Every structure is written in structure tokens, then in C-alpha cells.
Amino acid sequence: MHTDLVAALDIGGTKIAGALVDGRGRILARSQRPTPARENGDTVMGAVEAVLAELTASPLWAGVSAVGIGSAGPVDASAGTVSPVNVPGWRDFPLVRRVREATGGLPVELIGDGVAITAAEHWQGAARGHDNALCMVVSTGVGGGLVLGGRLHPGPTGNAGHIGHISVDLDGDPCPCGARGCVERIASGPNIARRALENGWTPGPDGDTSAAAVAAAARAGDPVAVASFERAAQALAAGIAATATLVEIDIAVIGGGVAKSGEVLLAPLRKALTDYATLSFVQRLVVTPARMGTDAGLVGAAAAALARQADAATV
């Protein structure tokens, strides 16, 4: 059975969200549980199954034709497994098989969370109408995904476009991924805050040392906070320009918690991009904020499931 109604899961280290989504991207029913991230794998899967149980109890469930999953990664779509860095109990966890079993054998499409957000922004958000796009999430980490030739390009394992682990500083700090000088090591929220603190930034009376607090200080003109955001913007610009040079994207969409700092990040990013995107075919590259908000992971997971259903129907 193929319908334009699918179930979607957005799985991260903090929450497991689920929804029923129609072919126009509308969320018709939803469920959510906290992620028991420090528990064993079966306990985490139990939370996923609880979300699915609420969705299957909906009278709309009879029309559901597939399940889309956007998960924190790494993911391996070819094997149907996930190994989220922030969920230690899941290592090579057979998520696709377990979700298929929990939903009576429905087809399941798995992609990384950055790819899911990319699918949402291309379908309904800031990248709509663009055939070649990079969408990024700048938050606790830095992730992303690609649209090439008008289609989502998740790659064989569902991780393509993971810009956070492009190296932009050959002699830079070691990254937890095992490489050195990665975009994420410079531009993620915790690293923006870490660098500001190391260079003498002093938090306010509330002791808040988050990237949001650094952004507020930068907005007020604190030079150390401004410099930390400028360094993050430079790393992002280098990664975006490298991606554009490689695959000729014409728009980069920036979302995630750090992107909520607005022009504190985007203004120096656009300025730095002029230093890196220098070849004629990337000079028209546009940088713009994401539009989809907190439901992007769900809408994107649904988009991936609908696209796979459509592909299957044409074979």
C-alpha cells in the first residue's frame, strides 16, 4: 500500500519525537519521550517503542505506508544500524529492523539527523526551489546534508554532507572524531564558549557559560566574545566554500541553536565567505537562516520516507 501518510521519528540524545505526517508536510499526530541516553540499548529502544505505540493507537495509523527515521549519528543506512555518539547504549544498533518489527513490517527509511533537516528545508523551508543546497545544523555539534540536482543526497550510509568533520585547520586541535581541526571543533556551541573562556571572557553574574551567553556578550560589544564568534564564522565559511567548490551548491542554510545568535554569527560568516568562495562559480553562493524550527527533523524524516515510496512506485 502506498499513501501520502507516513510515520516519522526524530531521535536525538535529549528526546525521541514521533509524528504522523501527510504529503504536504503537515503533522497530524505526535508523541514524544525523553531519551534515556545513559541506559542500555533495549531501554532506549523501549522509549522508541512507546512513541510508536502512541502513534499506532491513532485512528490515522491505518493509512500509514512507511516510516522515516532521522537519527543522531553516525548512522549506517546500508546496514540499518545507528551508533549515536550521545547514546552510548546504541552501537551498531539494528534500529531499522526493530522499528519494522514494531510497526508490523512497514518499510523503514533511515537517514542522519542533519540529512533529515536538509530534507525538511528543501521541501518546505529556506532551500525550497534550490536544486543544489547545503543545509547545516550548528549546535552542540555541527552537522549537515546535501541536495544535489534537485534531490536529497544522503549517500550510501545516510551521512553525506556531514560538514562538521571537514578539516579546516591542519594544525588545529584534535577532534573527538579522531581528526584534527574540524569545523565542529571550532564552530560548535561548546567550542565557541570554550574558546571565549580560554581567552579571558568573563561570564555575567548568573555564571552562564553557554554559547548563547557568549552571543549576548558579543552583541554588547565584548571583544573576546566577538572574536570567538568570528573564529567560528571563519571555520564555517571555509567548510561551506570547500563544499560549494566541490559540488556547486548555490545556497547554504544555517540552522541549530548557535544560528539563533543571528547576525552575531551570520554577518562575520558572510564576510569570511568572500575570502574563501573566490572562484567564479561559487561567488553567488547565498547564506541564509533555516526556517523549519524544531519540527524539521520530523518533517525531513517524513520527506525521506515519501521520496523512497515515490521511487519504489516508479520502478
Nearest to 163 by CA among 126, 194, 138: 138
At residue 14, the pLDDT reads 87
Element (H, E) at 161: none
Higher pLDDT, 3 or 201: 201
Please give the grid coordinates belonging to residue 237: 565559511
Taking the model in full, what pTM does it have?
0.89
Let me know how many helices (H) and strands (E) the chain has, helices first: 9, 12
What are the tens digits of pLDDT across the range 247-286?
999 999 999 889 999 999 999 999 999 999 999 999 999 9
- Architecture of the structural domain at 5-111+294-314: 2-Layer Sandwich (3.30)
Q: Between helices 211-219 and 223-247, what is the axis angle to 10°?
A: 110
Class of domain 126-290: alpha beta
Domains of the chain by residue range: 5-111+294-314, 126-290
What are the tens digits of pLDDT across the range 166-203?
999 999 999 888 899 999 999 999 999 999 999 999 99
The percent of residues above 70 in pLDDT, for the chain, comes to 98
Mean pLDDT of the chain: 93
Domains 5-111+294-314 and 126-290 share a fold: yes
Q: DSSP readout, 169-223?
A: -TTSPBPTTS-BSBHHHHHSHHHHHHHHHHTT----TT---SHHHHHHHHHTT-H
At residue 1, the pLDDT reads 41
If you search the block for the grid coordinates 547564506, which residue do you land on? 287
Give the C-alpha separation, 190 to 290, whole Å: 21
